[in-house]
Structure 1
């Protein structure tokens, strides 16, 4: 991607137009990668950077990151330049340090891959708002200050950004509803699954994982965190109902946070005397999770709210039948390739699980449809669209002022 600013030429409205057909020097794009190792947003950032490295060898990318990530990011290519940024996520410091770093590095376009876009960022910007979960479930935040910070940051980002990206039509509707954003300012670009979920594991890996976790009985699988909106209390109740219908050999395996975080889940297990049949395994490597999907009889994801809902897509890519919620973004991710149920009704969840486990024809149908559905999602396709948006933003108006004129002069001085 190339850009030369042809001397500041403000129009009568005081705006400087930077046109894409004037490209003859590299555009410098900044990407905030401080959350590179987060569970959800980290997956988004890693795939964004990986695909940009494959697709674009011309644009200069300045990647703001932690000190331990410098070596890894340098490996993306000569046009990727990691810059250490020590400001903490969701801190007051990032509101000042990020704009200063953007200005210091001469960034022409800045991408914030989560909802924090400091208003002092001095250039065009793209922000990805994945969901509005902090506003939907404020009890997850540590206090009133955190809620005020999240609400203010999202509101400012939605107004300040040149373009907003989100990952589902459901999230787009939430952004419009909460912040009054013009719908045409928001682009929906879906997430995708990592490649190893679509690759058949080696037989020895399947045997190793089965033996390590003693998975010799048929089991229902859930993967994700254990926060209340994931609806695991109702899943445990639904599992109890399924076992009462004659599937008393069945186990429930939950992969994610430690059970100690939410005592209500342990109480739900003991209330139904399921302590021998429900297992909480904590987080595990993605390669192991890919095997777990394939060993499961059915994957169940009864969440009450998701910005996207990646685990059902990973399960479908693995050829595992999926039962998931009929609310939020999950129907648009699953399409007709999963059994959709009312997540507020444990009996409906139980019926969905029982149908899949009791009907071999339905399992075959869901596997085939799931694999076909998963093929419609691709990180390469999504990042190509993000790269197109970078180009489109490069041709949109930018307010002309002293900082813009200085940037223009600096670009013109460069060879």
Structure 2
């Protein structure tokens, strides 16, 4: 099978969409190396995370044939796909070329979330309308759709009227290193390097309104002092929202409890932090999936998460769920986790098993390939 991929995010994005693209291609190539994998990207960033994809024996790389990269990605790439004999093209982040449906080339598009429709405060009016045009076109004209959660599938059906039979829900796995626990000596060295010699919770994700970090600050302002352990905030974020959060932290004199780590680019260090933490707090209002939850579970870190959108799919039955608009519920969940050692141990063990059973790379690759075969029938 000769398969083409929109690889822009694979080479140019180090966050969620880029991680999704890299994980998908690595999984397919490892378990089904007999296929041809063609990567189409407007540019190539030669960094550690993209090195595997520069191997010409595993992947065929294709760059624009003109200097108008945006036009190429949306329009003229179709001629190149025909010339390269591509049988099926997979848009990995919500988009497919505009005229692809007028050719004999079959198409699949991955839809991660429709947050701009579900939460209209998350984006500007112009962005919402632009996304809506692109996403509606992709859902309407792709031969099949991969949704990364049941919640995303339901949103696609609800907002765009797409036949649910056209949509395959395929959960994504994490970076493969999270499936192999890191040794205690490595974990201790990471903590020493970062100057961490205390118990802590983790908050993983950019500081944006949707991530709901303000709720955590609000809860900490009233939490009993013996339950108020520091929180490591892993991620950058929206400058305006981060400024508001910092002002809220300063107002309640909580600076020593919120520790920002904005430059953690090594997933091995992230793995160590998960493994040594008291747990992950993830009170997001809306997510397409919620990959940090799965990362934490694989590292046997207990999880407290919102009971909204796709998060119960990621967290499974052994996560503590809270209403993201209810500070009292989060406060109670933190108290339960820190005061009940048996609960924490059970959450670690059973949460890990849930993640191993539901988010494996091999099953992921098999399901994606099954979607391709279904599309070509």
Query: One fold, TM greater than 0.5?
Result: yes
Aligned with residue 2 of structure 2, among 2, 23, 28: 28
Q: Is the 8 A contact 2:302 2:319 kept in 1?
A: yes
Q: Counterpart of 1:17? A: none
Matched, 1:392 2:374: yes
Tell me, in whole angstroms, the C-alpha distance in 2 between the residues paired with 1:90 and 1:176: 32
Structure 1 residues 169 and 127, CA gap change in structure 2 (3 angstroms): same
Aligned partner of 2:249 in structure 1 is 269
Q: 1:161 aligns with which of 116, 120, 142?
A: 142
Provide the secondary structure at the position in 2 that maps to 1:336.
helix
| Higher relative contact order, structure no. (Cα contacts within 8 Å, ≥ 6 residues apart) | 1
Counterpart residue number, 1:136: 118
1:304 maps to what in 2? 285
Q: Higher Cα Rg: structure 1 or 2?
A: 1
* Other-structure match for 1:5: none
What's the CA shift string for 1:250-289, capped at 9, x where partnerless? Answer: 1111111157452111011112110122111114121111
2:44 aligned to 53, 62, 67, which one?
Answer: 67
In 1, Cα distance between equivalents of 2:200 and 2:371: 43
Tell whether the 8 Å contact from 1:241 to 1:347 is kept in structure 2 after alignment. Answer: no
Q: Within 2, Cα distance between the matches of 1:224 and 1:78? A: 35
- Secondary structure at the residue paired with 1:131? coil
Question: Would you say the 8 A contact 2:110–2:147 is kept in 1?
Answer: yes
Per the normalisation by structure 1, the TM-score is: 0.83
1:246 match: secondary structure: helix
Q: Does the CA-based 8 Å contact 2:149-2:169 persist in structure 1?
A: yes
Give the distance between the partners of 1:165 and 1:102, measured in 2 at CA.
21
Q: Post-superposition shift, 1:211?
A: 1.7
CA distance in 2, matches of 1:49, 1:211: 35
Q: What residue in structure 1 maps to residue 62 of structure 2?
A: 83
Shifted more, 226-235 versus 330-339: the winner is 330-339
Distance 1:216 1:68, change over 3 A: closer
Give the alignment partner of residue 208 of structure 2, picking from 208, 219, 227. Answer: 227
Q: Which residue of 1 aligns with 2:92?
A: 113
1:157–1:258 CA distance, 2 compared to 1 (3 A): closer
Which residue of 2 is the match for residue 198 of structure 1? 179
Q: CA–CA distance in 1 between the matches of 2:310 and 2:69? A: 26
Matched, 1:152 2:137: no
1:349 aligns with 2:330: yes
Q: Secondary structure at the match of 1:216?
A: coil
2:332 aligned counterpart, secondary structure: helix
State the distance in 2 between where 1:80 and 1:277 align: 46
CA deviations on 1:157-213 (whole Å, 9 max, x unpaired) are 011000000111111001111100000000000011222223222333222221222
1:42 aligned to 2:21? no
Structure 1 residues 321 and 57, CA gap change in structure 2 (3 angstroms): closer
Q: Quick one: distance in 2 between partners of 1:223 and 1:165?
A: 25
Greater mean deviation of Cα atoms: 188-197 or 254-263: 254-263
**1:296 Cα deviation after fit:** 1.1
Q: Aligned residue for 1:246?
A: 226
The list of structure 1 runs, each at least 4 consecutive aligned residues, that deviate by more than 6 angstroms after superposition, is 86-90
Task: Tell me whether 1:323 sits opposite 2:300 in the alignment.
Answer: no
Corresponding residue of 1:97:
76
The answer to whether the Cα contact below 8 Å between 1:317 and 1:374 also exists between their aligned partners in 2 is: yes
Two-structure CA RMSD over aligned residues (Å): 2.2
For the residue of structure 2 that corresponds to 1:324, the secondary structure is strand
Partner of 1:23: none
Gaps (5+ residues) in structure 1? 1-26, 396-415
Structure 2 residue runs without a partner (length 5+) = none
2: CA distance between counterparts of 1:324 and 1:86?
Answer: 46
Any idea what SS the aligned residue of 1:305 has? coil
**SS, match of residue 35 in structure 1:** helix
